[in-house]
Amino acid sequence: MTNFFNSGLYERSFFTKHKIYFYEDQEAYQETEYNYELLMEEYKMDLDLEYKDEDDLQEQVDQLFWENLGYWPVYLEPLIFNEEIALECSLTPFTYKGVNMLALSGCGMDLSPRLDAYQALVDNTIDNNSSLFSQELHFKYVVGEHITKKVLQAISM
């Protein structure tokens, strides 16, 4: 029996990992951008919209954005960047020094199903080592039943 492991020499990886220590590098804040309107729409359930002026809303969105980036210093640069699908998969999209990236937006458990779901929804492909195939209950727990159904539909095309 032959064992296989992708060396990365013959196939491109869908994600490229980047380590950024935002809390140690104050200049990193200035080189980071995000789509304020899109995140405000996504976070509206977490925002107190009724009694806030625009400055307060900006501050709340900024706080939620940086909180989501602060969980883990590893960010992923996808081959295909789609902010709406990233948010649908509970990822936080942003641009750092001109490079589009995704943050896992959480910690404390294996959140890789979010990345698998993102890849499936933007590219109709999935890693053959995805937990969708080995731990489907965990996959559903992380991304939800609705996204799991969308993923299965996307990869079966």
Same domain, residue pair 125 and 70: no
For residue 45, name the pLDDT band (cuts at 50, 70, 90).
confident
In a domain, 45, yes or no: yes
Q: What is the pLDDT of residue 82?
A: 98
pTM for this entry: 0.87
Same domain, residue pair 35 and 94: yes
The first and second tokens of residue 91, run together, are 């990822």
- CA 125 – CA 104 distance, rounded (Å): 19
Q: Cα dist. 24→19, 27, 28 in Å?
A: 12, 9, 9
In a domain, 59, yes or no: yes
3-state secondary structure at position 93: strand
Q: What is the pLDDT of residue 78?
A: 95
Rounded to 5, what percent of the chain is helix, strand, coil? Answer: 45, 15, 40
Axis crossing angle, helix 136-143 with helix 145-155, rounded to the nearest 10: 120
Same domain, residue pair 98 and 117: no
In a domain, 2, yes or no: no
Average pLDDT, the chain: 86
Identify the top-confidence range among 8-22, 46-60, 112-126. 112-126
* 63 contacts 95 by C-beta, under 8 angstroms: no
Domain enclosing residue 143, as ranges? 109-157
Q: What is the pLDDT of residue 120?
A: 93
Q: What is the pLDDT of residue 6?
A: 64
Same domain, residue pair 90 and 47: yes
In a domain, 85, yes or no: yes
List the helix and strand counts (H, then E) for the chain: 8, 5
Which position has the higher pLDDT, 3 or 131?
131
- CA 78 – CA 16 distance, rounded (Å): 7
Q: What is the pLDDT of residue 80?
A: 93
Same domain, residue pair 27 and 68: yes
Q: What pLDDT, in 10s, does the model give residues 129-154?
A: 888 988 999 999 999 999 999 999 99
Same domain, residue pair 87 and 156: no
Same domain, residue pair 22 and 42: yes
DSSP category for residue 138: H
- The number of folded domains in the chain is 2
